[in-house]
């Protein structure tokens, strides 16, 4: 069964940093775009960032631009989200997701289980 296994969520102080990971258990990972989507407590879904199949194209939502960095290591079939200068409003469950094709747009075909990031002093 294809899975995306997430790790890295934690409690962090405002201004701090955190790195999330998302490990894929399938060979098609290296040919697909990947995404991060977040959901604040009791709220809806918000797209955070996209990366194409080889990491050459990346995109960010305005609220995280300049603070978050998406990357991937295809040799390890792992996606990352480096989160710097964290703010209270970044508190959310973060999901990784796989796209249907190689470029960074699309829909979210397969989802990780989610990991909670809490930013609080």
Collect all residues with Cβ–Cβ distance below 8 Å to 82 and sequence separation of at least 6: 17, 19, 68, 69, 70, 71
Six token digits for residue 59: 């995109």
Within residues 60-79, the interface with other proteins by CB under 8 A covers: 60-62
**Among 44, 56, 66, 121, contact with other proteins (rule: CB under 8 A):** 44
Distance from C-alpha of 103 to C-alpha of 1, rounded to nearest angstrom? 24
**Among 25, 100, 116, 120, contact with other proteins (rule: CB under 8 A):** 100
| Segment interacting with other proteins (CB under 8 A) among 21-29, 55-63, 71-79, 83-91 | 55-63
For residue 101, state whether it binds other proteins (rule: CB under 8 A).
no
């Amino acid at each position: 069964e294809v899975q995306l296994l997430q790790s890295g969520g934690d409690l962090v102080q405002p201004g701090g940093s955190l790195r999330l990971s998302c490990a894929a258990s399938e060979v098609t990972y290296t040919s697909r775009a990947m995404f991060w989507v977040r959901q604040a407590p009791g709220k809806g879904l918000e797209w955070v960032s996209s990366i194409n199949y080889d990491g050459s194209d990346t995109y960010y939502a305005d609220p995280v631009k300049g603070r978050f960095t998406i990357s991937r290591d295809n040799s390890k079939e792992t996606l990352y989200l480096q989160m710097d200068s964290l703010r209270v409003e970044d508190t959310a469950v973060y999901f990784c997701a796989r796209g249907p094709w190689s470029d960074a747009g699309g829909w979210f075909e397969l989802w990780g289980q989610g990991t909670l990031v809490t930013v609080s002093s």
